[in-house]
Amino acid sequence: MSPVIHSDRRKQKAPIWLVFRAFLYKYVSMKKKIVECLATGFYFGKAKKMPGTFGTLVGIPLAYALAQLNVFAYMIITVVLILFACFIAELHERFTAAHDPKEIVIDEIVGYLVAFTWLPLTWQSFLGAFILFRFFDILKPWPIRAIDQKVKGGLGTVLDDVAAGIAASICLQVIYTQTSWLGAQLAH
């Protein structure tokens, strides 16, 4: 057994600012990890190729789950998620000092939710929303391109994808009301 050495010195307390700084560092570090996880769609956005496509895939089960609710609940939750996505994208941009990096896919997730609004729960609808949303998100026709170029921050990151979702949704609503290509047709 080793001898116990007693010290007459009292335990010195760390100055409060050092304790606060250590706590703040841990908090900010944890906050960065949470923001990164959410902004990248649970790290699907970290895919080396096609991160936006992988991010959109995350939106499919979320759209399915929300579609189990009534259409108004779906739309209200989608609007809340859009606002949340703007906040998360803004924080991510502040942490990384980069505007709309490819790894941010929370905007693709909410854009897909917008594209899927008011559609029947069929595989054709899920696929159609996916294809048309990705088409408009990648091509960025006017006014989507103007939004992408002129609106900055988290709002700009998310808003162009919401616009792509609206464009896809308009096309899908026409298809839904005029044909049975989505596996169902809205009765007139």
Is position 7 within any domain? no
pLDDT-flagged residues of the chain (< 50): none
pLDDT at residue 29, rounded to an integer: 75
d(CA 59, CA 61): 6
Domain of 132, in residue numbers = 16-178
pLDDT in tens, 110-149: 999 999 999 999 999 999 999 999 999 999 999 999 998 9
**In the structure encoding, which two tokens stand for residue 106, read together?**
């929370």
pLDDT at residue 16, rounded to an integer: 72
For the chain, what is the mean pLDDT? 89
Its pTM stands at 0.84
pLDDT at residue 99, rounded to an integer: 80
What is the DSSP annotation of 103-114? T--HHHHHHHHH
Is position 11 within any domain? no
Is position 188 within any domain? no
Q: Give the distance, in angstroms, between the CA of residue 170 and the centroid of all CA atoms in the same chain.
A: 21
Is position 67 within any domain? yes
